[in-house]
Amino acid sequence: MNGLVVALALPAVAALLLVVLRDMLTDRLAAWAGVGVSVVVAMLLLVTWVGGDGDGYVAEVDLVWVRSLDLHLHLGMDGISFPLLLMTALVTALVCWALVDDPPRGDNATPGLVGLLMVVLTASIGVFAALDLVLFFVFFELALIPMWFVIARWGDPHDPVGRRTAATRFLLYTVVGSALMLVGFVTVWALAGTVQIPELAALGAQLDGGWALFAACMIALGLAVKTPVWPLHLWLPDAHAKAPTVGSVLLAAVFLKLGTYGLLRVFVAVLPGPARDLAPWLGLLGVVGIVVASLACLRQADLKRLIAYSSVGHMGFVVLGIATLTEIGIAAAVFASVAHGVVTALLFFNAGSLKRRFGTAEISVLGRGMYARMPALAVVLAFASVASLGLPGLAGFWGEMMALRGTYEAAAGADGAGLGEALAAVLLVGALLGVLLTSAYFLRVLRRTLQGVPTPHDADTDLAGSERGIAIVLVVAVLVLGLVPGLVMGVVEPSIPAILGGAR
Amino acid sequence: MTAVTVVFAAMGLVALVSAFLVVTSDQIIHAALWLVVTLGAVAGLYVLLAAELVAWVQVLIYMGSVVVLLLFALMLTRTPTGPGSATVTRNQPLATVVAGATTVALGAVMWAGFGGEVIDEDEVRVGTAARLGDAIFRTWVLPFEVLSVVLLAALVGAIVLTRRGER
Amino acid sequence: MNRRYSASAVGITAVMAVCAAVVAFPRLGDDTGPYGLPAGRTTTLVDGGDLLGVSVTFYVDHLSAVMLLLAATVGLLVQVYSVAYLAGDARYRSYTTIIQLFLVAMATVVVADNLWLLVVGWEVMGLCSYLLISHHWELAPARAGAVKAFLLTRIGDLGLLVAVFAIGQTFGTYEISEVLTAMASPDAPEGLTAIGLLLVVAVIGKSAQFPLHTWLADAMPGPTPISALIHAATMVAAGVFLVARLYPVLAESAVTMTVLAVVACVTMLLAALLALTSGDLKRVLAWSTVSQLAYMFAALSVGGYDAGIDHLLSHGAFKALLFLVAGSVAHAIGSTALRDMGGLRVAMPLTFLTGTIGFAALAGVVPTVGFFSKDAVLESAWHAIGHDAPVAPLVAVVVLVVGLVTAAVTVVYSFRAWSMTFVGHGAPARASVAVHEAPPLMVGPLVVLAAATLLLSLAMPFDLLMGLVTTAIVVAAGWLAWRTMSAGRDPASLLGPAQPAFTRELDWDLGYAGAGVVARRAGDLVTATDRDVIGFYPRAAAATSVWLSRVLARAQSGNAQTYVTVLAAGALLTTLLVVVR
Amino acid sequence: MPLMLPLVVSCGLFGLGLYAVLARRHAVMVLLGIELMLNAASLNLVAFDTWWADTVHTGQSLTLFVIALAAAEIGLGLAIVLALFRAVGNSDVDGQEPPTSLLAEGGDEL
């Protein structure tokens, strides 16, 4: 049986069982079940990948799904999707582990919540492994509904209306976006006659002209909402501010990557010609996103909103990497996505722990001198912030470095680059300004919360149980990704031609 | 301009005027009574169009039973039948416009279609009862049977609707 | 309390020092000068893929060996010193761990062959400097100084990042050894001005040179041993090391060297004058460090490769000594302000002795290493005027003149600091407090460093002519300072009207504060734009749809008559459409 | 006799009938309107039957059926009006007030 299909089906079955048997399951058991399933899925993916042969897609399966429309259940893994798949499975395992000690509100709600998380896991595995445009779209949409429930049902306890508004706004933004994307897919289907991504990628530059550009715009818009790219990012801060820790981590670590992965697999690979025309706009919006997000972060009072805006900034780097349409740019996009997933997950876990203790993530309420009051939590938050501001030697740096390098090479006139020389130079300066501002706002947060004369608070309890375990796992992950970037690059590099094949 | 045309025009005028009064009178009873006049005038028109059976059926059933039934219903329900009992809804201006436009349009269509036609006096086949009976029971027998079923259904419906109590 | 940790801290640092020595000593001999083929040994631990180009490779030559030894010795001495200096500190364990991390980072920078490895070490050093400056994070100046240090060095680091991209793009490789080999070969690539200037930006940030010089003085709230290790001997010297390491790349473009020379001159004189007018002993030493670093850059810019490195080594020794002396003084009287000191020569004889040697080295008095290395710097400037040098003769002249002027000012401010601390005409009231000599663990390192300040001069070259000139300056300036001090006037007043300006340090910080305000204002603008401008459209869309639904609801008003009317009108229109057309 | 004459009359009757249906408040008046419209239609049928001199008398047979149906329809119409009257107390066509706006009751605004 194909490893990938099992990895896809297992969480779905688990979700079903969890919901059906929820009366018989205690909260802790359900949470541990979630952890178990996610870990098994991660192992399965690892084994399938290791077992897979080099060329083409690993563990490819191609069953006919809808004969009349020629839609296939076409799944496969390659260097671009495997790192993201593995990260998703591991992050979901950590999220379920967090639920062990921090069960959601409501009697016997954990089985339901873990069930929803399993559906999200299935959907994201589906998105990353889908090689059929319509299948990609189906899983893309499937992931949204559970997230709406997670935010609306278990979000910020103090603000029910705000919670539901944020959840609905998140859903509407993304659904409108993916509707546009579907229009793009149908146009591609009409132009190319097939929806199988490998065949479309093989077509390469033949897909060109007015309609191809139209399809590219639609797909780019749909994915831009999800990534999010600057003007379409408004849903992210609200969703994160109102989402529970579980929701925020998944939203940051997995959902944003659906967008960036989509830009790679569905936008650049399928429509290389129009992608070349849109690349300057994408790069420009990416850099504007970086600068604007970091400026906004300077003035945020709520820690979770700040982290959300910083995610917009990091995704700006990913989009800039993609916009360069060079090998280093694509590698930057994948590495930055994985690194951002790990680093921001750690940041949100910390913010979640603080919110669990103080009832809110408002920086003014958290008090000062966290180093003295909660040393372990403070050190981990400092570590995560430093990793997020892109200190070399930690995960955050390599993605940004490669994106900047791609932009520099475009500015220095490298052939085949997506950006013009003058524009690339401006984008490079903008991105560097963004990096500087990123350092500024993270240091501002560390200075306001961790340092200063300690203000003891009765909710001051240091990391314990699953929080401590999760922190250790993620810190190790950030260090490994930071000190040995070759680990991910080795996997990604051979698959880059599959993305850039046409655009070359 | 034969005599038939003149009488026909007069009779038509009577029908139209009485119909106008049915529609604009503010008392229900007056409206019902004017309806009787309209139906009579139309029966006359039928006679002029050599449709004798239809004319008598019109007079017998339409004026005889339908209008009477109408009056009985008004009296039974003790609705206020005094002046002002049949007022007009807010929709009246729009209704006038639509009705007027429809009339003009229908007239124009008719005029465009059959403006110059003339009914040829000598060719007219008088619609005697014999001919009508022959036509109905030979060509139109199926609709006739269906009609009987419809009437039965209407009968049962009316009874069920007006039954009092034990809903 | 932290007896147990101090043993392990010093122990680990000692082990690291030994390893550094083992690596460094054999390489000391590989000195082939700046332009020769790379002579050191390159070892590759991990070979990264060619796309990313990040691999763990080391290249150790004479320069790295010197730096390694300097960092290791000063690091070890500082650890020993800190045992006593931070005896009662609650966060001693994290303090020592961060120092060890810093030493590893410094070692990485010094021995790295792959430029990305150098960048990692470079910024981890910046992080350690941030963490250690804000060691006493209860104090507001410490917190502010730490953030400022990190951000200003970060600007330099961005310059380094783009420089590495440029090197990769031009040379096709990120290995320093391969770059140096390419530069040594006849068909070395030309037009490296861009790379040179970016590297200059990088070193300006890291070594606190002219535009970005304000952070070093504000880093003084950190513990004094840290000032000695990071902000005197090692990290700030990393800028000089980088210029020396990639010397052929920078020397290839006269423009770069001229810019470096100009920056060095401006910084040299400006920092010296700021040191003269500063009222706090540690700030004097900080500004003096900036000035001495400028000396090193000046030497490198005029082609004095060996002179720059020698001055770096000597400065590392005597400036660490001076900072540790300041530390023991502060430890004794609890404050580093010059007005609180005076007449300490009686109470703290050993500190006084080693301090005098330190200040003598700073001023350039004959037997000390300071004299020889500063002499070498000025001699290289003098040499550059006549012979072929990376810069035009005019620039060399300017460097020489400014060097001599700064030497004079240096003598004045070191004499001033020395006498206000130890001699102190008219001992201040505080003298009555029980001031006692620093504990042995602190005095030990002082003695070692003092010895080094004297012994190292043996290894330094000597030029008679420049030696006489500098000694003359020392005597003249010393006499001037002594006369002013004995007349009861603060030598800073020699500046006359310019003194208040320098005391306020030319308000250079207003610029950075202004930038901060602009950023915050832009932040508000962005947040407002997000809420009102971009946020307007979704809200407007929602409102329009609600309004539209209300309008359409009117069609379903429940009034049967309106339905029939619309129906009739519809039927009529349809027939008209069909019939009319 | 010009065919247009009966056609004009039937159009007039139809218009007036339609007006009554669309404008009168009382349900019985609406039924009267419908009667007028039916008569207009049957007049038209008869007119064309005569003009066409149809051997099978289609027009007139249909008119008979129309009259029969009209009878059934008025019977039912009055039964409904009676029931309506008993239930509501008046048999006005526009009696009901419009349903409250669905979105009025707070919360869940976008």
ipTM reported for the complex, 2 dp? 0.77
Question: What's the gap in Å between the CA of B89 and the closest CA on chain C?
Answer: 9
What per-residue confidence (pLDDT) applies to B30? 87
**pLDDT of A477-490, one tens digit each?**
999 999 888 888 88
* Contacting residues for C106 by C-beta, under 8 A, at least 6 apart: C67, C71, C75, C121, C125, C234, C235, C238
Q: What is the pLDDT along chain C (581 residues), one digit of tens a residue?
A: 566 778 888 888 899 899 888 888 887 776 666 666 666 677 777 776 677 778 888 888 888 888 999 999 999 999 999 988 888 888 888 999 999 999 999 999 999 989 999 999 999 999 999 999 999 988 999 999 999 999 999 999 999 999 999 999 888 888 898 888 888 888 878 888 999 999 999 999 999 998 888 899 899 998 999 999 988 888 888 999 999 999 989 988 889 999 999 999 999 999 999 998 888 899 999 999 999 999 999 999 998 888 899 999 999 999 999 999 999 888 888 888 888 787 777 888 888 899 999 999 999 888 888 899 998 999 888 888 888 778 888 889 999 999 999 999 999 999 988 888 888 654 454 554 567 778 888 888 999 999 988 888 888 888 888 888 889 999 999 888 888 888 878 887 877 787 888 877 777 788 888 888 999 999 999 889 888 888 888 889 889 999 999 888 877 777 788 888 889 999 999 988 887 76
Residue among A388, A277, A400 nearest A329 (CA): A400
CB D32 within 8 A of CB B22: yes
Lowest mean pLDDT among A14-23, A138-147, C84-93: C84-93
What per-residue confidence (pLDDT) applies to A54? 63
A299 contacts C524? CB cut-off 8 A: yes
* Contacting residues for D5 by C-beta, under 8 A, at least 6 apart: B5, B8, B9, B12
Separation of CA A331 from chain center: 16
Residue among C425, C274, C256, C255 nearest C345 (CA): C425
**D107: nearest CA in chain A?**
A161
Q: Are residues B71 and B132 in the same domain?
A: no
Query: Which candidate from D94, D101, D110 shows the least CB-CB separation from C553?
Result: D101
CB A436 within 8 A of CB C150: no
**pLDDT of B57-79, one tens digit each?**
999 988 888 888 888 888 877 77
The Cα A292–Cα A313 span in angstroms is: 8
SS3 string of A29-96?
HHHHHHHHHHHHHHHHHHHHHHHCCCCCCEEEEEEEEECCCCEEEEEEECCCHHHHHHHHHHHHHHHH
**pLDDT of C222-257, one tens digit each?**
899 999 998 888 888 899 999 999 998 998 888 999
Q: Could you give the number of structural domains in chain D?
A: 1
Element holding C41 (H helix, E strand): strand C41-46
A74 burial via Cβ count (<10 Å: 0-12, 13-18, 19+): buried
**pLDDT of C124-147, one tens digit each?**
999 999 999 999 988 999 999 999
What per-residue confidence (pLDDT) applies to C403? 92
D105 touches chain A (CB under 8 A): no
The Cα A304–Cα A241 span in angstroms is: 5
Identify the bridge partners of residue A66 per DSSP, sorted by sequence position: A71
* Contacting residues for D102 by C-beta, under 8 A, at least 6 apart: C553
* Contacting residues for C198 by C-beta, under 8 A, at least 6 apart: C159, C160, C162, C163, C166
A58 burial via Cβ count (<10 Å: 0-12, 13-18, 19+): buried
DSSP A233-256: -THHHHHHHHS-HHHHHHIIIIIH
Q: How far apart are the first and last CA of chain B?
A: 62
Q: Is residue B109 part of a domain?
A: no
CB A245 within 8 A of CB A355: yes
Window 76-95 of D, Cβ < 8 Å to C: 93-94
**A169: nearest CA in chain C?**
C538
Query: Which candidate from C562, C575, C576 shows the least CB-CB separation from B91?
Result: C562
Residue among A202, A190, A186 nearest A270 (CA): A202
The Cα A338–Cα A480 span in angstroms is: 12
* Contacting residues for A309 by C-beta, under 8 A, at least 6 apart: A236, A237, A293, A294, A296, A297, A300
Residue D44's pLDDT band, with cuts at 50, 70 and 90, is very high
C579 contacts B109? CB cut-off 8 A: yes
Amino acid at A401: M
Amino acid at A502: G
Residue among D21, D22, D31 nearest D79 (CA): D31
Residue among C109, C24, C19, C16 nearest C69 (CA): C24
Which residue, chain included where needed, has tokens 């006499």?
C479
Identify the bridge partners of residue A130 per DSSP, sorted by sequence position: A75
Residue among A224, A411, A232, A392 nearest A319 (CA): A224
Beta strand A71-77 pairing with C41-46: unpaired
**pLDDT of A207-228, one tens digit each?**
888 899 999 999 999 999 999 9
- Domain assignments of chain A as residue spans, ordered by start: 1-142, 143-503
CA distance readout (Å), C248 to C98, C183, C395 = 34, 6, 19
What per-residue confidence (pLDDT) applies to C434? 66
Helices (H), chain D: 4-23, 27-52, 58-88
Task: Find chain C residues with C-beta within 8 A of A299's C-beta.
Answer: 520, 523-524, 526-527
Residue among A368, A492, A141, A58 nearest C52 (CA): A492
Q: When comparing pLDDT for C478 and A205, which is higher?
A: C478
What per-residue confidence (pLDDT) applies to A130? 93
**Secondary structure of residue A415 in the 3-state scheme:** coil
Query: Which candidate from B4, B51, B70 shows the least CB-CB separation from D49?
Result: B51
Q: Residue A337: how many CA atoms within 13 Å on its side-chain side?
A: 37
Residue among A155, A81, A91 nearest A121 (CA): A91
Region of A382 on the Ramachandran plot (φ > 0 left; ψ -120 to 50 alpha; else beta): alpha
DSSP B31-53: HHHHHHHHHHHHHHHHHHTT-HH
What per-residue confidence (pLDDT) applies to A493? 87
Residue among C360, C343, C216 nearest C278 (CA): C216
Question: What's the gap in Å between the CA of A363 and the closest CA on chain C?
Answer: 17
What per-residue confidence (pLDDT) applies to C1? 52
Reply yes or no on whether the pLDDT at A264 is more than 80: yes
DSSP assignment, residue C438? P
The Cα B57–Cα B52 span in angstroms is: 9
What per-residue confidence (pLDDT) applies to D110? 44
Task: Give me B75's structure tokens.
Answer: 């009296």
Element holding C60 (H helix, E strand): strand C56-60
C122 contacts A392? CB cut-off 8 A: yes
What per-residue confidence (pLDDT) applies to D102? 47
Its domain, for residue D51, covers: 4-109
Q: When comparing pLDDT for C576 and B19, which is higher?
A: B19
Question: What's the gap in Å between the CA of A161 and the closest CA on chain D?
Answer: 7
Residue among C416, C414, C429 nearest C365 (CA): C414
Residue among C193, C123, C110 nearest C157 (CA): C123
Show which subunits contact A, needing at least 3 CB pairs below 8 angstroms: C, D
Q: Is residue B35 part of a domain?
A: yes
Its domain, for residue B66, covers: 1-80
**Secondary structure of residue C217 in the 3-state scheme:** helix
**Count of C-beta atoms within a 10 Å radius of residue C454:** 16
Task: Find chain C residues with C-beta within 8 A of A455's C-beta.
Answer: none
**D30: nearest CA in chain C?**
C561
Torsion of CA C335, C337, C340, C343, to 10 degrees: 100
What per-residue confidence (pLDDT) applies to A146? 93
CATH of the domain at D77: 1.10.287.3510
Task: Give me A218's structure tokens.
Answer: 């639609």
Handedness of CA C397, C398, C399, C404 (dihedral sign): positive
**pLDDT of A386-435, one tens digit each?**
999 999 989 999 999 999 999 999 888 777 677 888 899 999 999 999 99
Question: What's the gap in Å between the CA of D105 and the closest CA on chain A?
Answer: 14
The Cα C233–Cα C229 span in angstroms is: 5
Reply yes or no on whether the pLDDT at B43 is more than 60: yes
Beta strand C56-60 pairing with A71-77: unpaired
Question: What's the gap in Å between the CA of C221 and the closest CA on chain D?
Answer: 53
Residue among C531, C538, C522 nearest A292 (CA): C522
CATH of the domain at B31: 1.20.120.1200
* A338, A405, A432, best to mutate vs chain C, most C CBs in 10 Å: A405
What per-residue confidence (pLDDT) applies to A421? 86
